[in-house]
Structure 1
Amino acid sequence: FTVLTKTDALFHEAIKFIAERPTIGFAAEGIDIGREGKLCWIQIDAGGSIFLFDMLNLGTDGLKQGLKNIIQSESILKVVHDCRLISDLLHHQFRVQMLNIFDTQVAHALAYREQNRKDLPRYVPGLASCLYEHLDLPDEQIHIIRIREQAKSEDQEIWAERPAPRWLLDAASKHVKHLLDLRMILMEKMMVEFKAGVEIYLTYVRNSSD
Structure 2
Amino acid sequence: MGGSHFKIDRRRDLNTHLTQLHHVDMATVLTQRQLEPPEKLVEFHLQDFHPFQMPKYSQISCHMEGDKFAHRFLIEFGRIREDFWRDPDTPPELMWVPRKFYFIDRFAGGAFEFALDEINAVKLIGVSVQGHVSRGGALSTMSVSTKTHLFVFDLSLLGLDAIIHRGLGDILASPVIMKVIHDVRFLSDFLHHECQVTLSNVYDTLAAHSLFMTWRVYAGYMPKFASTYNELAKAYFGLDANSLHFRHVRSISPEEDLKIWFQRPLEDHLLQGAVRQTMFLLDLQRATRECMNAPFIWATEALMSTVRDSDDMEAEVQKTEAQVLPRSVLKVLPRLEPG
Q: TM-score range by the shorter chain?
A: over 0.9
**Quick one: distance in 1 between partners of 2:230 and 2:263?**
23
Where does 1:58-207 land on structure 2 (aligned, <5 Å)?
A: 58-63=158-163, 64-116=165-217, 117-207=219-309
Distance in 2 of aligned mates of 1:154 and 1:48 = 35
TM-score of the pair, normalised by structure 2: 0.60
User: Mean alpha-carbon deviation: is it higher for 43-52 or for 147-156?
Assistant: 147-156
Task: Supply the distance in 1 between the matched residues of 2:246 and 2:122 (Cα, whole angstroms).
Answer: 28
Contact persistence 1:80–1:103 (CA under 8 A): yes
Structure 1 residue 92: deviation in Å?
Answer: 0.9
Name the structure with the higher helix share. Answer: 1
* Distance in structure 1 (CA, Å) of the matches to 2:301 and 2:237: 26
User: Rg: which structure is higher?
Assistant: 2
Tell me which of the two structures has the higher relative contact order, counting C-alpha pairs closer than 8 angstroms and 6 or more residues apart.
Answer: 1
Shift of 1:146: 2.1
Partners of 1:201 and 1:111 in 2: how far apart?
22
Retained in 2: the 8 A contact 1:28–1:41?
Answer: yes
Count residues with an aligned counterpart. Answer: 209
Residue in 1 that maps onto 2:153? 53
C-alpha distance in structure 2 between counterparts of 1:167 and 1:48, whole Å: 22
- Do the aligned partners of 1:12 and 1:66 also contact (CA within 8 Å) in 2? no
Is 1:23 aligned with 2:117? no
In structure 2, what residue type is equivalent to 1:175?
Q
Kindly report structure 1 stretches of 4+ aligned residues shifted beyond 2 Å. none
> CA 1:155 to 1:48, structure 2 compared with 1: closer, same or farther past 3 Å?
farther
SS of the residue 2:220 aligns to: coil
Tell me the CA shift for residue 96 of structure 1.
1.1
Aligned pair partner of 1:5 in 90, 93, 105: 105
Task: Give 3-state SS (helix, strand or coil) of 1:82's partner.
Answer: coil
User: Identical aligned pairs, as a percentage?
Assistant: 30
Q: CA deviation at 1:78?
A: 0.3
Following the alignment from structure 2 to structure 1, what is the Cα–Cα distance between the partners of residues 142 and 276? 13
Following TM superposition, by how much is the alpha carbon of 1:48 offset from its aligned partner in structure 2, in angstroms? 3.1
Q: TM-score, normalised by structure 1?
A: 0.96
Shift of 1:154: 1.4
TM-superposed CA distance for 1:207, in Å, is: 1.7
